[in-house]
């Protein structure tokens, strides 16, 4: 089943003393470029404290300049400068990188220099550049500064299996006969980890953790993620190498998601973010932690959140189609809670309270339920209902049946060619057939039994 992008899944549950889970997942087909249209409150300004220096106005889409020539001076210079930056990364030459920066002594120039250090720390050795388009000047642009939009790709060796591709707004200026980059991150652009000054990186073979945070905190997150990867591998057979980004505050988290802070639900503690081409496995997801959401959780809750997101990363990397929300979220919750030893009524407390008040939901949780159409409690109930559905499948048919259902609906990247598989995305009929085959119940029967279980659990 495929869903329109971008989709947002968010939740957090505070259940008794055990605060639990949060998740916000960018849709597999969500174009990274779409974040440029989000009306953000200039995340750069929060960091630099000098919004007036930032080229472009926050979140405002610039029209592409109608140019008689397909390659104008701005386009040429931007391409040259980004190629030089790629060469500097390959050579490990900070001087060559610094030579592309317009004014290294300025606050913006310092951010440009810091990006080199961040990319080096991540192990990035090259950049790909495409779709350079000159943008029309806007009111407030400093004189002499020209801007272009660029599709910039990079990958972290050993962790990304495909380029992570971003749309960036690059501004350039000429001094002493040479063009240089003023800033390669527009006010409305989505940030990457290397845009965070002071980035530190720690990794094992299965997890890379990056953030401008103290080493001790970074290593603690790495250890927790390693444990989570072990839980994922126990269920799926293997865990795909994952990248976790640890921002210092919610502003950075919002920048990394390419949204305004107000657009992230207050209960979201972590997000799996990435692009996915139709019919292809995700190749460069990021798990982005959200400090304020995590701070509301217990140690167990933080562990559950991380394992939940790492489950998404592996499943998205090991499949080519989206799953129904109740199934992908239910599975991630099931993996995350599997070893926690919490009672069912603790994990599902919000949902069961609602069942007592208004009866069981009519259907399995939908995209709208996860998107918060019914408030934060509704989102929590959606996660809990999905978890109970997954839990039910495992109890009745075993974990292997749940995984077989996921594998069938998600498709195997190694079996089908991408073009063919994109046309074979599972629909309602495929879901019905797969459920009958692996669970023994068609969907209607499954929902009936699931609802009855909710009622029974709510009684006691």
List of residues contacting Zn ion (CB under 5 A): 23, 329, 332
Provide the 10 A C-beta neighbour count for residue 222.
19
Q: What angle do CA 77, 52, 45 make, to 5 degrees?
A: 95
Cis peptide preceding 191, ω within 30 of 0: no
**Cβ 332 to Zn ion, closest distance in Å?**
5
SS3 string, the chain, reads: CCCCCCCCCCCCCEECCEECCCCEECCCCCCHHHHHHCCCCCHHHHHHCCHHHCCCCCCCCCCECCCCCCCCHHHHHHHHHHHHHHHHHHHCCHHHHHCCECCCCCHHHHHHHHHHHHHHHHCCCCCEEEEEEEECCCCCCCCCCEEEEEEEEECCCCCCCCCEEEEEEEEEEEECCEEEEEECCCCCCCCCHHHCCCCEEEECCCEEEEECCCHHHHHHHHHHHHHHHHHHHHHHCCCCCEEEECCCCHHHHHHHHCCCHHHCCCCCCEEEECCCCCCCCCCCCEEEECHHHHHCCCHHHHHHHHHHHHHHHHHHHCCCCCCCHHHHHHHHHHHHHCCCCCCHHHHCHHHHHHHHHHCCCCCCCCHHHHCCCCHHHHHHHHHHHHHHHHHHHHHHHCHHHHHHHHHHHHCCCCCCCHHHHHCCCCCHHHHHHHHHHHHCCCHHHHHHHHHHHHHHHHHC
Nearer of residues 28 and 188 to Zn ion, judged by Cβ: 28
Nearer of residues 185 and 348 to Zn ion, judged by Cβ: 348
**Cβ 308 to Zn ion, closest distance in Å?**
6
**By Cβ distance, which residue is nearest to Zn ion?**
23
**Cβ 193 to Zn ion, closest distance in Å?**
21
Nearer of residues 313 and 332 to Zn ion, judged by Cβ: 332
Q: Which two tokens stand for residue 104?
A: 């290294």
Provide the 10 A C-beta neighbour count for residue 17.
9
The torsion angles phi and psi of 200, rounded to 5 degrees, stand at: -115, 150
**Cβ 168 to Zn ion, closest distance in Å?**
28
Nearer of residues 173 and 335 to Zn ion, judged by Cβ: 335
Nearer of residues 22 and 59 to Zn ion, judged by Cβ: 22
Place of tokens 């997000």: 271
**Cβ 367 to Zn ion, closest distance in Å?**
12
Nearer of residues 47 and 332 to Zn ion, judged by Cβ: 332
Q: Which two tokens stand for residue 98?
A: 């610094």
Is-contact 189 59, C-beta < 8 A? no
**Cβ 107 to Zn ion, closest distance in Å?**
37
Nearer of residues 252 and 329 to Zn ion, judged by Cβ: 329
**Cβ 7 to Zn ion, closest distance in Å?**
11
**Cβ 351 to Zn ion, closest distance in Å?**
16
401: nearest Cα among 230, 235, 238, 234: 235
Nearer of residues 246 and 306 to Zn ion, judged by Cβ: 306
Nearer of residues 322 and 329 to Zn ion, judged by Cβ: 329
Nearer of residues 25 and 75 to Zn ion, judged by Cβ: 25
**Cβ 142 to Zn ion, closest distance in Å?**
42
**Cβ 411 to Zn ion, closest distance in Å?**
19
**Cβ 3 to Zn ion, closest distance in Å?**
13
Nearer of residues 189 and 322 to Zn ion, judged by Cβ: 322
């Amino acid at each position: 089943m495929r869903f329109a992008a971008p989709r947002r899944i968010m939740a957090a549950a505070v259940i008794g003393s055990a605060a639990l889970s949060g998740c916000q997942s960018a849709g597999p087909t969500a174009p990274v470029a779409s974040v440029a249209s989000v009306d953000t409150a200039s995340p750069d300004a929060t960091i630099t404290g000098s919004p007036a220096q930032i080229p472009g106005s926050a979140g405002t889409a610039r029209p592409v300049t109608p140019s008689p020539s397909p390659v104008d001076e701005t386009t040429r210079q931007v391409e040259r400068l980004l190629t030089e930056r790629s060469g500097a990364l390959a050579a490990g030459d900070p001087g060559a990188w610094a030579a592309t920066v317009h004014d290294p002594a300025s606050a913006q120039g310092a951010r440009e220099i810091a990006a080199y250090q961040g990319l080096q720390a991540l192990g990035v050795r090259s950049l790909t550049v495409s779709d350079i388009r000159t943008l029309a000047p806007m009111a407030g642009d400093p004189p002499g500064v020209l801007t272009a939009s660029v599709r910039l790709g990079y990958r972290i060796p050993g962790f990304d299996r495909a380029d992570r591709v971003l749309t960036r707004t690059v501004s350039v200026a000429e001094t002493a006969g040479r063009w240089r980059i003023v800033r390669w991150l527009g006010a409305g652009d989505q940030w990457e980890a290397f845009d965070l000054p002071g980035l530190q990186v720690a990794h094992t073979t299965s997890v890379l953790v990056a953030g401008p945070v103290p080493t001790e905190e970074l290593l603690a997150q790495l250890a927790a993620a390693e444990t989570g990867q072990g839980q994922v591998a126990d269920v799926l057979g293997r865990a795909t190498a994952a990248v976790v980004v640890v921002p210092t505050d919610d502003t950075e988290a919002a920048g990394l998601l390419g949204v305004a802070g107000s657009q992230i639900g207050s209960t979201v503690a972590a997000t799996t973010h990435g692009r996915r081409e139709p019919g292809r496995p995700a190749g460069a997801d990021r798990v982005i932690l959200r400090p304020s959401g995590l701070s509301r959780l217990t140690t167990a809750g933080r562990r559950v959140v991380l394992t939940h997101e790492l489950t998404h990363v592996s499943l998205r990397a090991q499949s080519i189609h989206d799953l129904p929300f109740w199934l992908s979220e239910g599975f991630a919750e099931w993996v995350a809670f599997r070893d926690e030893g919490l009672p069912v009524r603790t994990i599902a407390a919000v949902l069961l309270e609602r069942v007592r008040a208004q009866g069981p939901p009519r259907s399995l949780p939908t995209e709208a339920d996860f998107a918060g159409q019914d408030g934060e409690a509704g989102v929590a109930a959606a996660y809990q209902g999905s978890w109970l559905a997954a839990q039910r499948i495992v109890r009745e048919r075993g974990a292997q049946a749940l995984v077989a259902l996921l594998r069938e609906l998600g498709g195997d990247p190694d079996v089908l060619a991408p073009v063919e598989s994109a046309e074979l995305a599972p629909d309602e009929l495929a879901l019905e057939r797969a459920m009958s085959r692996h669970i023994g119940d068609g969907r209607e029967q499954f929902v009936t039994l699931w609802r009855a279980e909710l009622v029974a659990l709510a009684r006691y």
